[in-house]
Amino acid sequence: MLRPFYSLPSTLDGIKQAIERKKQQPVNRKLLVDVLNEQYEKVASTDEVKKNIELLLSQNTFTVCTAHQPNLFTGPLYFVYKVLHAIKLASYLKEQLPQYNFVPVYYMGSEDADFAELNHTYVDGKKIEWNKEQKGAVGRMLVDKTLVQLIDELEGQLYAEQYGKEVVDLLRRCYSNGKDIQTATFELVNELYGQFGLVVLIPDHPLLKQEMINVFEEDLFNSKPFEIVRKTSERLQESYEPQAYPREINLFYLKDDIRERIELQDEQYVVVNADLKFSDEELRSELKQHPERFSPNVILRGLFQETILPNLAFIGGGGEIAYWLQLKDLFEHYHVVFPVLVLRNSFLVVEEKWNEKIRKLDLTVSDLFLSENELMKMIVTKNSENKVSLNGNFERAEEFFEQIRTQAEAIDKSLSQYVSSIKARSIKDLEELEKKMLRAEKRKFEEHQRQIQKIKAALFPNNGLQERVENFSWFYAKWGRSFITELLNNSFALEQEFCILMEK
């Protein structure tokens, strides 16, 4: 059903095929390395990172990439899982294909302007939110005293834990007053993962965007990407709902505190929500002189990434992978290799205090994925002195009504339907009786229910996955760098499985 919309399977064989294809695609490796060295000039990079950057000059070196916006303090846990997955997959590929080198890359989506999505995180259930008076790309926003105050707030929350001071000091070093968010995020990610050789790339750079000028021109003046992705989306829609919607122009204008869409209106190119207009000739000149002022949206972002990187695999969440399915024809048009798509790892981290409560309820962590109602039914069924299920009686009732129906039908066939109606009403009444019996018995287990609600609220905040809400800092405060190491040790490479990690 979806096979025509991706290029290669997420298997070792798929990676091998991607290598052969990527060998045929020109990548400006020297430019990439020059930009990376420039970006790392002010950062204390590890020997592992320096080695990996140098390796990128070699035609035998390829990258494994994940991408994410610069969320506040990295945002939800799945950011951590994505990065570690890239590191693990690169290591696995080196073991399997030692004749090549594989470099894990975090590609920062620092040009994202959806501040409301990126300005908050949750630490042990408590929302931490940055309120500011800045506009434009979030990566270019500056750390101010209101953000520093959030770290002060975290200090009170985390200092009691063994490594609380360590993680708070780490955040203070990275998010110092006056530094821009993309630099702060760069430094934080480098501190957390530099030991594993992770290379951080900020693509918001004029030399990197210079590599995309031809594509940007076709987008601005011919709407070529729009035409291609629209046709792909129409075909995809026959079996799957598209996640992204191409525009006739898929570029934002990015300057100072502006990141706004570009639209063609009355033969002029207008920057929406800004007092900026360009003629055709003026916009062409602007693009050639200042390519950094043009920022790709979701339709062109992946193409940009795969143009400037010698990349084989892209690691993303379900939503990310879904919109990549709309882009394969676009890649083929521009002769850029479409990467192997790998669904990111997922974890549930269970502290011992919650595991102990789960054991006392005679449940397993896996049981917690059930609804509260299903869990209560399990507990009542296991522990109740009274039988609350009527399953056996339903079967006997079915047999009883079948006998009555046969007997009545022998007398008058028209009575068969009448008996079936009586049966349906009776079974419905029995089902309602069973529900009332279960509700009555549940009232005897109110403390169990309170415990389940408490556990579920901690492990599945807002009735969702922990990884979509909680920030890494709480777990780092408890376990230090061993938290990162344990996640990496338990990360999968190409397997698609959910991992439950329990404290011992």
pLDDT in tens, 284-319: 999 999 999 999 999 999 999 999 999 999 999 999
Tokens of 130: 């940055």
CA distances to 156, 185, 200, 475 from 167, rounded to whole Å, are 12, 14, 20, 10
Name the band, by pLDDT with cuts 50, 70 and 90, for residue 394. low
For the chain, the maximum distance between any two Cα atoms, rounded to a whole number of angstroms, is 96
Mean pLDDT, residues 15-33? 98
Mean pLDDT, residues 203-212? 97
Note the pLDDT of residue 300.
98
Helices (H), 56-138: 77-96, 115-118
| Mean predicted lDDT score pLDDT of the chain | 92
Note the pLDDT of residue 366.
95
Q: Which one is predicted more confidently, 248 or 42?
A: 248
Backbone phi and psi for residue 444, each to the nearest 5 degrees, phi listed first: -80, -10
Name the band, by pLDDT with cuts 50, 70 and 90, for residue 390. low
Name the band, by pLDDT with cuts 50, 70 and 90, for residue 376. confident
Tokens of 193: 């993962």
Note the pLDDT of residue 393.
63
Note the pLDDT of residue 405.
78
Contacts for 8 with CB less than 8 Å, ≥ 6 apart: 14, 15, 17, 18, 338, 340
pLDDT tens by residue, 38-65: 999 989 999 999 999 999 999 999 999 9
Note the pLDDT of residue 289.
97
Element (H, E) at 67: strand 61-68
Mean pLDDT, residues 142-154? 96
Mean pLDDT, residues 244-264? 96
Name the band, by pLDDT with cuts 50, 70 and 90, for residue 343. very high
Report percent pLDDT > 70 for the chain.
95
- Give helix 47-55 / helix 29-39 axis angle, nearest 10°: 160
Mean pLDDT, residues 187-198? 98
Name the band, by pLDDT with cuts 50, 70 and 90, for residue 437. low
Q: Is the pLDDT of residue 392 over 60?
A: no
Q: How many residues does the chain have?
A: 504
Note the pLDDT of residue 387.
54
- The model carries a pTM of 0.88
Most confident of 192-206, 394-408, 431-445: 192-206
Name the band, by pLDDT with cuts 50, 70 and 90, for residue 426. confident
Element (H, E) at 262: strand 258-265
Report percent pLDDT > 90 for the chain.
80
Mean pLDDT, residues 58-87? 98
